[in-house]
Structure 1
Amino acid sequence: MLANSPTTNFGYFRRLGIIEGVSFLIILGITMPLKYLADTPGPNKVIGMVHGGLFLLYCAGAVYFAWRQKWPVWKLLLLWLAAIIPFGTFVADRKLLEE
């Protein structure tokens, strides 16, 4: 059983998922409209790079916890899928990671 405390590695992973999801929503809701409607690509580049790093950390963290806890492959695949769907990490946190 993984401890859901915010100070454990699993707690950090759950928070990383929330932060990654927020960064994705910022890209979709703020920086993409700025890029295409206001011809201001700068924020999209910066937030896009930050989001890319968070995305990679989230995917690597999912692999780490799937391996460590002997989670089934379907759970790992759902966590990865959640990272590419808007609001997906929030749903994954509630449905897959909360035990």
Structure 2
Amino acid sequence: MSVPIDMRTPMGRLRVASRIEGVTLITLIGVAVPLKYLGGEPGFVGLMGPVHGVAFVAYLLMLTEAAAAGGWRASEVVRTALLTVIPFGPFLNDGFLARKAAAIAQAEVQP
């Protein structure tokens, strides 16, 4: 089941931030770090390090916003935060975020 991303909602913004953070982490550790240590080219780490740092902070802000909007257990917030530091974690977590977004949207529709 594909749940569309609605950027007007905290969950939609979190899902986009999660994907961006995931791409920057994979680029940093999968491309930039090997180029630095195996290829002697440290410049890409100097570029991707700050880009990933901004994406990570934005992700944490979006997670805080989504959690503050309600419908989250503490364990879900911790799980979602921890998965962002694992390569491919944000992508593995996308199914959970999609289901969470659908559940929150459904709860808002029902009186």
TM-score by length of 2: 0.79
**Rg larger in structure:** 2
Greater mean alpha carbon deviation, residues 3-12 or residues 58-67: 3-12
Shift of 1:4: 4.5
Aligned to 1:51: 52
* RMSD, aligned CA: 1.5
Distance in 1 of aligned mates of 2:4 and 2:13: 9
CA distance in 2, matches of 1:67, 1:6: 17
User: C-alpha distance in 1, partners of 2:84/2:18?
Assistant: 8
The separation in 2 between residues aligned to 1:64 and 1:6, in whole angstroms, is 15
Distance 1:11 1:51, change over 3 A: same
Counterpart-to-counterpart distance in 1, 2:67 and 2:4: 15
- Bigger RCO (CA 8 Å, 6+ sep): 2
SS of residue in 1 equivalent to 2:35: helix
- Residue 5 of structure 1 is matched in structure 2 by 5
Q: Secondary structure at the match of 2:60?
A: helix
Cα drift, residue 93 of structure 1: 1.2
Ranges in structure 1 where 5+ consecutive residues have no aligned partner: none
Aligned to 1:78: 79
- Give the alignment's TM-score, normalised by structure 1: 0.87
| Partner Cα distance (1:5, 1:62) in 2 | 15
Partner of 2:69: 68
- Paired residues, what number? 96
Identify if the C-alpha distance between structure 1 residues 63 and 7 changes in structure 2 by more than 3 Å, giving closer, same or farther. closer
Deviation at 1:89, TM superposition (A): 0.5
Q: Hey, what does 1:36 align to over in structure 2?
A: 37
Q: 1:57-95 CA deviation, whole Å, 9 max, x = no partner? A: 10121111111124111111011101100111111111x
